[in-house]
Homo-oligomer: A and B are copies of this chain.
Amino acid sequence: MMSRYLSSKFRNLEPYVPGEQPQDMQRYIKLNTNESPFPPSPKALDYAAQNTRSLNLYSDPNSAELTKALARTYGVEPDMVLATNGSDEILNFAFMAYTDRENPALFADVTYGFYPVFAELNGSAYETIPLRDDFSLCIDDYIDKKGTVFIANPNAPTGVALPVSEIERLVASDTSRIVVVDEAYVDFGAESCIPLTRKYPNVLICQTFSKSRSFAGGRLGYGIGSGQIISDLNAIKYSTNPYNINSMTSAMGIGILSDEAYTRANCRTIMENRKYTVEGLEKLGFKVLPSSANFIFVSSDRVEGGQFYSILKEKGILVRHFTKERISNWCRVTIGSRRSMEAFLKAAKEVLDEKL
């Protein structure tokens, strides 16, 4: 796969594998990449039509207006915000800035699969720390460790969330250690750690427009942290890709932020659909982890995870299955529209019935 030219530092690099995007996507109910079933707020297009900078000109490398809008939304100062090309970019910047050969990244054994890739990419040491048997994260496992901690909260692919008080305990325990909280899914019922960024110099929150704000195709994420953290990450950004956000995405992002009521209403709908789906699955005898995200993690004693995924795919429903041993008996199912979840429950019932 790799050429004889490639730097030997990447010999062990195993790229991240995004959720599949079949060419004949129309045939599927797509519950595999945690997208929103709703379009972005109509204000996105309205605002972009009025305010997109001429496209022959470079986008604003500071994304100043967008940054101000994010700061207003979260009650922080603009110099505590960095907008990025999706939240993978801010996460990569954090791995670059705050991990290396001596200072390892610390994260759970079951979490966002990109973390070990970022660590490898940047030549950083890393250590994975097992979740408890119920897939909950024990903060005490991290308190005495040296390294930069990455916590997805709610966690992926489990959906399990920690309260802010637990994360604050870790942040406060040693302010010489950076804690990165990846809140891609926080708007579906978990608590955000953003308020901690005004109290502590050593915490970075990463969020995205891809989930609750229905803008995965626009590629927009951001980090919120102390001024000094954001200054570090800006130095990285200006050494990588200064014009990282295009003008259309930037303008649409501001439009979306002007319509938080729309976002909150969509999140409520997703949470209702989640409740509906979980109840349906439990009635059928499935195990479902308690989720604060726009997806659920599902398993059954009666059908192995990989098989559940495959049979659902034959039935036209795409969910995500990970082959990693500890979770190979589970599937991650995105919560979509009520109609999609009805179709999913019907198919899930059929899978079990066929197994009888």
Q: Mark A203-243, 1 if CB is under 8 A from B, else 0.
A: 00000001000111111000000001101101111111111
Shortest Cβ distance from A121 into B: residue: B239
Are the CB atoms of B219 and A59 closer together than 8 Å?
A: yes
Contact A57 B249 (CB under 8 A): no
Q: Would A10 and B56 count as touching, CB distance under 8 A? A: no
Distance, CA A149 to CA B170, complexed state (A):
47
A229-277 interface with B by 8 A CB criterion: 229, 231-232, 234-249, 252
Measured as residues with beta carbon below 8 angstroms from the partner, the interface class of chain A is 35 or more
B55 near A242 with CB under 8 A, answer no
Chain A 155-180, CB-CB to B under 8 Å as 1, else 0, gives 00000000000000000000010100
Q: Apart from A18-B242, A21-B61, A219-B243, what are 20 other A-B pairs with CB-CB below 8 Å?
A: A2-B232, A4-B176, A5-B98, A5-B178, A6-B97, A7-B100, A9-B100, A10-B97, A15-B236, A15-B237, A21-B58, A55-B217, A57-B217, A86-B241, A88-B243, A92-B241, A217-B248, A218-B247, A219-B244, A246-B248
9 A/B residue pairs, CB under 8 Å, sorted by A: A1-B235, A7-B100, A15-B234, A16-B242, A18-B238, A35-B58, A44-B55, A55-B216, A246-B248
